[in-house]
Chains A and B, each alone.
Chain A
């Protein structure tokens, strides 16, 4: 299974993932795999604060990923401290 990961606002991955033409990470996984596990696997320089899954902001990181999902991650620069 593959999902597309976009990192914004200075978020970077310390690992070397394959990328598509736009520079998005192509992340391979086998089910079951949650958003939380994804974030842990990415080796990010900052903790993401806003997580957008297929265009929708999610607050539950235990949601399972599905094939062809698109995940966009933003650090707390665009959000608050709670």
Chain B
């Protein structure tokens, strides 16, 4: 595996391959965070030539291992000002692996406002100016790429939002059906790609073969056990394939942790209308599909395909986060309108979590009313148009809160909170406050134990055990994010020690390593250390590891609780 560096400075961008060197043994988030923390000036402007955009495949990318094709996108975030790793499914990870590319590093910045397309196959890297692609929405862009390069490609791209360098802009990755539906959403990574003038990276792995493990038999056996483990666990084997992530709507709502009307309440009256159960049924009725994998090699199949009421493709099955952000948080209970907004975010290249939280803030500001689905759709179109209102919304919740003088702005380190209220689930509040990523639920998904009873139970309404829980999950997640595995394997890993062993055996068989559980912990800590170090040098202090004041003061119904974990406890999380 090698690193492909693409320098956008000068008259002609230059691509060169280099050996892993000091980055040997790193993949996915470990690789993006190592490169960013080592090579990016933490005081640089995120849109400057000093920032880098690192797109990294995981440790097992391009092998026949199940679940191994996620991709990490890292940089200094234009949204948080700290280090960022955004993570996406889709086909890119596997294809990069088969092409022998551990990471693509975009460096520098073109002088003018030309946009470039990059084409990579097993023999060549071509970087070409192509201004006919300017401001194309992602779906239209992909159609053009298909005509030019055929249908055996994968595209990593930005929509108009990234070209406009908005802090809510995502990087899109095409799925198995060659649709731009999987996004590295959080933290404005799309804006950095836009600042570097790269509109699309087209990858073609024709003529390549899967990467071969050092120990073929052990690898095959471990993969078999790993897959069996995923299939037998109720979450990965039944719940997620049947209902997708949106299975969470009802349970989070029932326990009063569903942030509603911009984090004012913990339950939404319309929640059941937009639940995963209803969504799956609707998809089946309309000829869509509730059981679908976004990448080859995934055996969980949490994704799906959503058709409109006339039976035509509309968008991929909206995820729980999207349905919450653009639905319940905004008081919207119409799945079709939410699905349309999901499509618009995919097309314009926007983080659905940030956009939903932002529209919620705009509703609180009176820009439109809570529940106004058509108004919300229009706001997304404003972003696509590049209007001044669109540029406000497209820059996220904090920016919009500032523009309209709103006090209740749910962000940490400038990034909007996801779909769990930290007052009703104290553990996730710890993750939101302390994660190097800003308010991020996947970074240390305490919901698994606070609510879902996977791997144990920690009472969500008490402060006891939450810091330790968040710490352990943050460490484990940093490791999983580096393998290129989908984080949802964690449900099975938490409950089934033999599945956990199978994962280690997979990695060890591939690389000829002897990793133990202890090594996993050290690996995860190493990644978090890269990130903490970068953030400290970027000017972050413990004062940034806090939730917004209103979470400490405003009790949330129905439980009428505030966030209670003490600052001193939060400050202990990274003491190892």
Q: Which residues does A use to contact B, with CB under 8 Å? A: 6, 8-10, 22, 49-50, 52, 55-57, 59, 72, 74-82
User: Which of B4-12, B248-256, B360-368, B477-485 sits within the interface?
Assistant: B248-256
Summarize A's interface: helix, strand, loop or mixed.
loop
* B272-A79 in contact (CB<8A): no
* A78-B239 in contact (CB<8A): yes
Say yes or no for B456: interface residue by CB 8 A criterion. yes
CB distance from A19 to the nearest CB of B (A): 14
Say yes or no for B26: interface residue by CB 8 A criterion. no
* A8-B250 in contact (CB<8A): yes
B247: chain A residues at CB < 8 Å are 9, 77-78
B239: chain A residues at CB < 8 Å are 9, 75-78
* A22-B272 in contact (CB<8A): yes
A6: chain B residues at CB < 8 Å are 254
B454: chain A residues at CB < 8 Å are 79-80
| Chain B residues bordering chain A, tally (CB within 8 A) | 35
B558: chain A residues at CB < 8 Å are 55
* B233-A52 in contact (CB<8A): no
Say yes or no for B494: interface residue by CB 8 A criterion. yes
CA separation between A82 and B247, bound complex, in Å? Answer: 20
A9: chain B residues at CB < 8 Å are 239, 243, 247, 250-251, 277
CA separation between A22 and B271, bound complex, in Å? Answer: 12
* B251-A8 in contact (CB<8A): yes
A82: chain B residues at CB < 8 Å are 453, 455-456, 495
CB distance from A36 to the nearest CB of B (A): 17
* A77-B243 in contact (CB<8A): yes
Say yes or no for B513: interface residue by CB 8 A criterion. no
Say yes or no for B475: interface residue by CB 8 A criterion. no
Contacts A56-B461, A57-B255 hold; do A80 and B452 have CB atoms under 8 A apart? yes
B459: chain A residues at CB < 8 Å are 57
Say yes or no for B231: interface residue by CB 8 A criterion. no
- Give A74's nearest chain B residue, CB to CB: B251
B267: chain A residues at CB < 8 Å are 55
* B254-A80 in contact (CB<8A): no
- Give A81's nearest chain B residue, CB to CB: B495
A78: chain B residues at CB < 8 Å are 235, 239, 247-248, 251, 452
CA separation between A80 and B491, bound complex, in Å? Answer: 7
- Give B232's nearest chain A residue, CB to CB: A81
B251: chain A residues at CB < 8 Å are 8-9, 50, 52, 72, 74, 78
CB distance from A23 to the nearest CB of B (A): 9
B238: chain A residues at CB < 8 Å are 76-77
* A72-B234 in contact (CB<8A): no
* B455-A80 in contact (CB<8A): yes
Contacts A10-B277, A50-B453, A57-B451 hold; do A77 and B235 have CB atoms under 8 A apart? yes
CB distance from A14 to the nearest CB of B (A): 18
* A8-B277 in contact (CB<8A): yes
B404: chain A residues at CB < 8 Å are none
CA separation between A78 and B240, bound complex, in Å? Answer: 8
* A81-B452 in contact (CB<8A): no
Of the candidates A22, A55, A72, A79, the one whose C-beta lies within 8 Å of that of B235 is A79
Say yes or no for B529: interface residue by CB 8 A criterion. no
Say yes or no for B106: interface residue by CB 8 A criterion. no
B559: chain A residues at CB < 8 Å are 55-56
- Give B558's nearest chain A residue, CB to CB: A55
Closest 9 CB pairs of A and B: A77-B239, A80-B454, A76-B234, A80-B495, A72-B254, A55-B256, A79-B453, A8-B250, A81-B495
Chain B 249-290, CB-CB to A under 8 Å as 1, else 0, gives 011001110000000000100001001010000000000000
